[in-house]
Amino acid sequence: MLLYMDRQTLPNVATRVTTEFQLKEVQYGNVEMWFGYAFAVGAFLWGCVADRWSVRWLYPALVLAWSAMGFLTGLVQDYEQLLLCRTLLGFFEAGHWPCALKTTQRLLARDERTLGNSVLQSGASLGAIITPLVMTFMVAGRTEPGAWRKPFLIIGVIGVFWVLAWFLLLKEKDFSESPLPRTLSPHGDRGEPAAGTPRILAADANFFAVFADRRFWALVIVVATINVCWQIVRAWLTKFLIQGKGYPEAEALWFNSLYYIATDIGCLAAGATTLWLVKRGWEVHRSRTTVFGVCALLTTLTALASTLPRGWALLGVLLVVAAASLGLFPCYYSFSQELSTKHQGKVTGILGTVAWATSSPCQKLFGWLADETKSFNEGIALAGLAPLLGYAALILLWREPKRTGPPNP
Q: What's the angle, vertex CA 71, arms to CA 66 and CA 74, rounded to 5?
A: 135
Q: Where are the domains of the chain?
A: 2-170+200-397
Closest CA to 119 of 134, 133, 130, 108: 108
Q: Give the C-alpha separation, 199 to 265, whole Å.
A: 32
**Quick one: pLDDT at residue 43?**
85
**Quick one: pLDDT at residue 206?**
67
Query: Contact at 8 Å (CB) between 21 and 79?
Result: yes
Indicate the CATH number of 2-170+200-397 among 3.30.565.10, 1.10.490.10, 1.20.1250.20, 3.40.50.2300. Answer: 1.20.1250.20
Residues of the chain with pLDDT under 50: 179-203, 405-409
Helical H segments across 139-188, by residue range: 150-169
The amino acid sitting at 333 is Y
Angle between helices 249-279 and 113-138 (to 10 degrees): 170
- 34 backbone φψ class: left, alpha, beta (φ>0; ψ -120 to 50): alpha
**Quick one: pLDDT at residue 20?**
92
- Residue 88, C-beta contacts closer than 8 angstroms, at least 6 positions apart: 38, 69
- Residue 6, C-beta contacts closer than 8 angstroms, at least 6 positions apart: 66, 67, 69, 70, 89, 93, 155, 156, 159
Closest CA to 249 of 21, 66, 14, 48: 14
**Quick one: pLDDT at residue 402?**
63
**Quick one: pLDDT at residue 219?**
94
Q: What is the torsional sign of CA 294, 295, 300, 302?
A: positive
**Quick one: pLDDT at residue 177?**
57
Give how far the C-alpha of residue 204 lies from the chain's centroid of Cα atoms, to the nearest Å.
Answer: 26
Closest CA to 356 of 97, 51, 94, 2: 94
Query: Contact at 8 Å (CB) between 87 and 233?
Result: no
**Quick one: pLDDT at residue 146?**
86
Q: Within a 10 A sphere around the Cβ of 57, how many other Cβ atoms? A: 12
Strand-pair partners of 184 = 190
